[in-house]
């Protein structure tokens, strides 16, 4: 008996077989990430005159009953001794009982150490940025299409060559030029005052809550905050035409951003950043976001990765790490009962997270997960998962005593952990959320002061910088070849995208929870950019298979279940039914990571005073969430005077408020971003 | 137990299989005049939600020992009832221990 372990260099086919001396074979064959139980036989070359080659055949199916199986058949020629094959030429055929397709593959397998794609990494680092659609950041990639030698995916769902546009709403107060009834997708341009790339668009911030996203999907205003929440009457809902981005941008501008004012059609250079509604159809050219687009091209990009909920930050971030948002659809500050005597988010968000699963797995390492944030004491993740993560806050809950079980650290610690090879199993990195923010979130009105006269340092450029920092820190880490970096976004944030999200996804387990805005959680949110970087992902990898936020928990949960069986089982039905992303791994052998140019930030930026920048609704949600943290509650119990967060309106006041909280770890200086 | 007997119109490929109710298949494939003993399995369309097609795969080799065998593998989609298939779309690959060649076949089988 011998074992044959071989794989194609891109993991398209792997073989893990027992080959008996009598010629019988059985084991596992994987094809494009799907595993098949197979049996068959082989004959050894040379054992009979005229038998000059070792030939074999196998057949079998995907395991498990009852199900909807694929069946597989393979034949090939093996080279080398029976106990140590050096090469296999293989032909594979697959038949699907789901769609009746027949597919075939031919390739060459080489010896393989049995490490599958998902096992190529020990550490996973997730950098989750804010509020950008796929088209907004990556839409202009691959204008000539994916190179023919790309290891995965032969198409790229970008904006080039598609004549994409949205209609201008009839009767708009500041109409477009005569004859213009729709606005096409175009690249974000330069500041005509300086000639430099504009890193602020769209400005001001588009609508992003559930009812706004419905308008963006269906170009319909129908009820607003009341049923049917801007949805069409048909059930099941029709496929969204993705045609309401201009309508919603105008409505949100008037209602939320510049209250009572109507946006102009086009740019007004004197009012840079531009405020015209035309800009909502603008997407960044690759030259404006070279770090993101280079990593997406040099490693792997998912061109059908959807956020979990057609709405805002808190819910989508909750889905990433918990597989649910417990019925919530909008950020907590917009929930009518968040600040009442028994805030529902605190109670309902007590559900376990993947951090709790890792913590409870009994692994020996005391620091098997970390959350890195510019404000570790008030990390957004600690607020979103208020109760579940309380035991791991920097302070012992209800006290001002340093918590020895703390799992929240500053971004500077992330950089030093990378350098020292001390990354935990799971690192979740938060960008800087306060102005000047590095989260790529579109700016709130007035927040452009961080770029005025300072070289147009907008959130997109600072986002490029933190992506570069995280990438480069891992690139230089001794653990680089065992680390998977995932760069993603929580939600599309109202930025234009042209691909309709799925309307038939599994809802998480919601029994007992109140469904905010009557949303049934059976629809996904809009596409977001998701890039994966690993020593085992080849250049030009494009994964076309639709994924969504809970694909993360599904995939790493399966991986960690191999380490501690049962430790990371799916927390919700949404996770159970999520597709795994393991097909992104394409290389058996480790590859190198190219050095990328660091985004250039003008020197004067680092000494600019941002304290008077207005607080955005999202930033306000963090301040108000922090006011409910245990140490703040304790402070009020002890009679300390803490400012009412409702009176805080600027970034300077917000940071001062956070610093005033007992036991507060000072916010990391802006220079950490340098 | 059903008996599937189908062939391509030019008889390049012929299939003569016993199809058990538990999904097991065994019998003979004939390709380019050479007969192969094969075994494998299939699942019937419609017996599980989402299983819209009857899919199958088999593999095996030319009979008799000692010899210089060819090995065959085939996958396909069967149309019609399990007791009396009306058509099979099939793809097959053959590996030769004599000359190391790999040959591919695709075709449609109808009741013979």
Quote the minimal CA–CA distance from B112 to chain A in Å. Answer: 23
> Which of these ranges, A87-96, A620-629, A663-672, has the smallest mean pLDDT?
A663-672
Return the exposure string of B81-94: e unless at least 16 CB atoms fall within 10 Å of the residue's CB, then b: ebeebeebbbbbbb
Confidence label for A331 from pLDDT (cuts 50, 70 and 90): confident
Interface test with A, best of B58, B74, B75, B78 (most A CBs within 10 A): B75
Share of chain B above pLDDT 70, in %: 98
Confidence label for A66 from pLDDT (cuts 50, 70 and 90): low
Residue B27 clears pLDDT 70, i.e. is over it:
yes
Residue A444 clears pLDDT 60, i.e. is over it:
yes
Q: Are strands A2-7 and B87-96 parallel, antiparallel or unpaired?
A: unpaired
Interface predicted TM-score of the whole assembly (ipTM), two decimals:
0.97
Query: Model pTM greater than 0.90?
Result: no
pLDDT in tens, B6-24: 999 999 999 999 999 899 9
Residue A637 clears pLDDT 80, i.e. is over it:
no
pLDDT score, position A12: 87
Confidence label for A269 from pLDDT (cuts 50, 70 and 90): low
CB contact under 8 A, B53 and A100: yes
Confidence label for A40 from pLDDT (cuts 50, 70 and 90): very high
pLDDT in tens, A387-396: 899 899 888 8
pLDDT in tens, A282-319: 999 999 999 999 999 999 999 999 999 999 999 999 99
- In this complex, how many residue pairs, one in chain A and one in chain B, have their CB atoms less than 8 Å apart? 173
Interface residue B11 vs chain A (CB under 8 A): no
Share of chain A above pLDDT 90, in %: 62
Quote the minimal CA–CA distance from B9 to chain A in Å. Answer: 20
Interface residue A179 vs chain B (CB under 8 A): no
Q: Which residues pair with A358 in a beta bridge?
A: none
Q: Are strands A369-372 and A408-409 parallel, antiparallel or unpaired?
A: parallel
Nearest CA in chain B to A76: B95
pLDDT in tens, A474-486: 999 999 999 999 9
**CB-based contacts of A259: which residues, under 8 Å, 6+ apart?**
none
Helix/strand/coil for A19? strand
Mean pLDDT of chain B: 94
Interface residue A64 vs chain B (CB under 8 A): no
Residue A559 clears pLDDT 80, i.e. is over it:
yes
Query: What integer is the mean pLDDT of A139-158?
Result: 91
Give residues 13 to 32 of B whose Cβ lies within 8 Å of A: none
CB contact under 8 A, A73 and B93: yes
User: How many CA atoms within 13 Å lie on the side-chain side of A419?
Assistant: 7
Residue A449 clears pLDDT 90, i.e. is over it:
no
**Contact (Cβ atoms closer than 8 angstroms) between residue A228 and residue A221:** no
CB contact under 8 A, A95 and B77: yes
Residue A451 clears pLDDT 50, i.e. is over it:
no
Interface residue A106 vs chain B (CB under 8 A): yes
Residue A455 clears pLDDT 50, i.e. is over it:
no
pLDDT score, position A341: 39
pLDDT in tens, A342-381: 466 776 777 899 999 999 987 656 559 999 998 777 789 9
Residue A24 clears pLDDT 70, i.e. is over it:
yes
Interface residue A51 vs chain B (CB under 8 A): yes
CB contact under 8 A, A68 and B51: yes
Quote the minimal CA–CA distance from B31 to chain A in Å. Answer: 14
The minimal CB distance from B52 to the residues A66, A89, A99 is found for A99
Query: What integer is the mean pLDDT of A153-169?
Result: 94
CB contact under 8 A, A43 and B61: yes
pLDDT in tens, A587-600: 877 899 999 999 99
Give residues 74 to 93 of B whose Cβ lies within 8 Å of A: 74-77, 89, 91-93
The minimal CB distance from B56 to the residues A55, A71, A98 is found for A71
**Contact (Cβ atoms closer than 8 angstroms) between residue A293 and residue A141:** yes
Q: Find the largest Cα–Cα distance for chain B.
A: 46
Query: What integer is the mean pLDDT of A242-250?
Result: 98
Return the H-helix or E-strand segment holding B90.
Answer: strand B87-96
Residue A452 clears pLDDT 70, i.e. is over it:
no
Of A33, A102, A105, A116, residue with least CA distance to A71:
A102
pLDDT in tens, A85-143: 999 999 999 999 999 999 999 999 998 877 778 889 999 999 999 999 999 999 999 99
Residue A335 clears pLDDT 60, i.e. is over it:
no
Measure the CA–CA gap between A231 and B24, rounded to whole angstroms.
50
The minimal CB distance from A51 to the residues B68, B95, B104 is found for B68
**Contact (Cβ atoms closer than 8 angstroms) between residue A214 and residue A519:** no
Quote the minimal CA–CA distance from A519 to chain B in Å. Answer: 27
């Amino acid at each position: 008996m011998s074992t044959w372990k071989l794989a194609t260099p891109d993991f398209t086919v792997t073989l893990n077989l027992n080959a008996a001396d009598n010629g019988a074979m059985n084991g596992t064959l994987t094809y494009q990430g799907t595993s098949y139980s197979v049996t068959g036989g082989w004959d050894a070359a040379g054992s009979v005159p005229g038998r000059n080659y070792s030939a074999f055949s196998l057949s079998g199916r995907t395991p498990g009953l009852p199900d909807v199986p694929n069946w597989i058949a393979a034949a090939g020629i093996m080279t080398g001794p029976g106990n140590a094959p050096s090469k296999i030429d293989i032909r594979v055929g697959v038949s699907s009982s789901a769609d009746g397709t027949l597919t075939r593959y031919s390739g060459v397998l080489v010896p393989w150490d049995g490490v599958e794609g998902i096992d190529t990494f020990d550490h996973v680092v997730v950098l989750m940025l804010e509020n950008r659609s796929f088209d907004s950041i990556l839409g202009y990639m691959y204008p000539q299409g994916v190179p023919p030698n790309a290891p995965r995916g032969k198409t790229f769902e970008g904006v080039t060559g598609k004549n994409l546009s949205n209609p201008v709403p009839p009767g708009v107060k500041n109409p477009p030029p005569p004859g213009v009834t729709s606005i096409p997708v175009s690249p974000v341009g330069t500041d005509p005052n300086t000639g430099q790339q504009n890193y602020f668009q769209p400005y001001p911030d588009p609508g992003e809550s559930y009812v706004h996203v419905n308008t963006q999907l269906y170009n319909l205003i129908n009820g607003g905050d009341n049923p049917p929440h801007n949805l069409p009457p048909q059930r099941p809902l029709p496929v969204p035409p993705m045609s309401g981005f201009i309508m919603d941008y105008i409505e949100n501008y008037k209602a939320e951003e510049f209250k009572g004012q109507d946006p102009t059609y086009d740019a007004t250079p004197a009012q840079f950043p531009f405020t015209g509604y035309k800009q909502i159809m603008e997407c960044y050219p690759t030259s404006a976001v070279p770090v993101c687009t280079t990593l997406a091209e040099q490693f792997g990009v998912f061109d059908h990765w959807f956020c979990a909920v057609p709405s805002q930050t808190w819910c989508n971030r909750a889905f990433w790490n918990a597989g649910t948002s417990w019925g919530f659809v909008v950020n907590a500050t917009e929930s009518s009962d968040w600040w009442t005597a028994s805030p529902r988010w605190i109670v309902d968000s007590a559900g376990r997270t993947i951090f709790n699963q890792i913590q409870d797995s009994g692994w020996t390492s005391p620091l098997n997960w970390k959350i890195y944030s510019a404000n570790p004491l008030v990390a957004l993740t600690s607020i979103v998962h208020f109760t579940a993560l309380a035991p791991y806050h920097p302070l012992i809950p209800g006290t001002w005593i340093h918590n020895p079980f703390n799992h929240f650290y500053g971004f500077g610690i992330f950089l030093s952990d990378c350098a020292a090879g001390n990354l935990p199993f799971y690192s979740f990195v938060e960008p800087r959320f306060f102005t000047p923010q590095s989260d790529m979130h579109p700016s709130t009105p007035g927040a452009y002061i961080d770029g005025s006269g300072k070289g147009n340092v907008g959130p997109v450029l600072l986002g490029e910088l933190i992506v570069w920092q995280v990438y480069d820190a891992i690139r230089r880490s001794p653990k680089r070849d065992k680390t998977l970096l995932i760069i993603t976004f929580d939600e599309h944030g109202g930025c234009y995208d042209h691909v309709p999200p799925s309307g038939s996804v599994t809802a998480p387990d919601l029994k007992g929870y109140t469904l905010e805005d009557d949303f049934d959680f059976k629809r996904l949110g809009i596409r977001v950019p998701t890039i994966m970087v690993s020593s085992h992902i080849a250049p030009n990898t494009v994964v076309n298979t639709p994924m969504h936020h809970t694909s993360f928990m599904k995939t790493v949960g399966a991986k960690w279940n191999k380490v501690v069986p049962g430790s990371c089982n799916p927390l919700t039905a949404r996770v159970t039914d999520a597709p795994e992303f393991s097909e992104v791994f394409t290389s058996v052998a480790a590859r190198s990571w190219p050095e990328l140019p660091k985004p250039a930030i003008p020197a004067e930026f680092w000494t600019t005073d941002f304290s008077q920048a207005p607080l955005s609704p999202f930033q306000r949600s963090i301040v108000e969430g922090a006011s409910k943290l245990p140490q703040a509650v304790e402070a009020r119990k002890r009679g300390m005077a803490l400012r009412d967060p409702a009176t805080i309106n600027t970034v300077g006041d917000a940071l001062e408020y956070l610093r005033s909280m007992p036991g507060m770890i000072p916010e990391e200086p802006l220079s950490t971003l340098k | 137990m059903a008996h599937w007997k189908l062939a391509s119109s030019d008889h390049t490929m012929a299939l003569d299989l016993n199809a058990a109710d538990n999904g097991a298949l065994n019998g003979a494939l004939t390709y380019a005049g050479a007969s192969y003993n094969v075994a494998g399995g299939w699942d019937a369309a419609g017996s599980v939600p989402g299983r819209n097609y009857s899919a199958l795969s088999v593999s095996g080799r030319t009979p008799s020992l000692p010899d210089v065998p060819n090995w065959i593998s085939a996958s396909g989609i069967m149309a019609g009832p399990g007791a009396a298939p009306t058509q099979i779309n099939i793809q097959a690959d053959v590996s030769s221990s004599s000359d190391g060649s790999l040959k591919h076949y695709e075709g449609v089988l109808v009741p013979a």
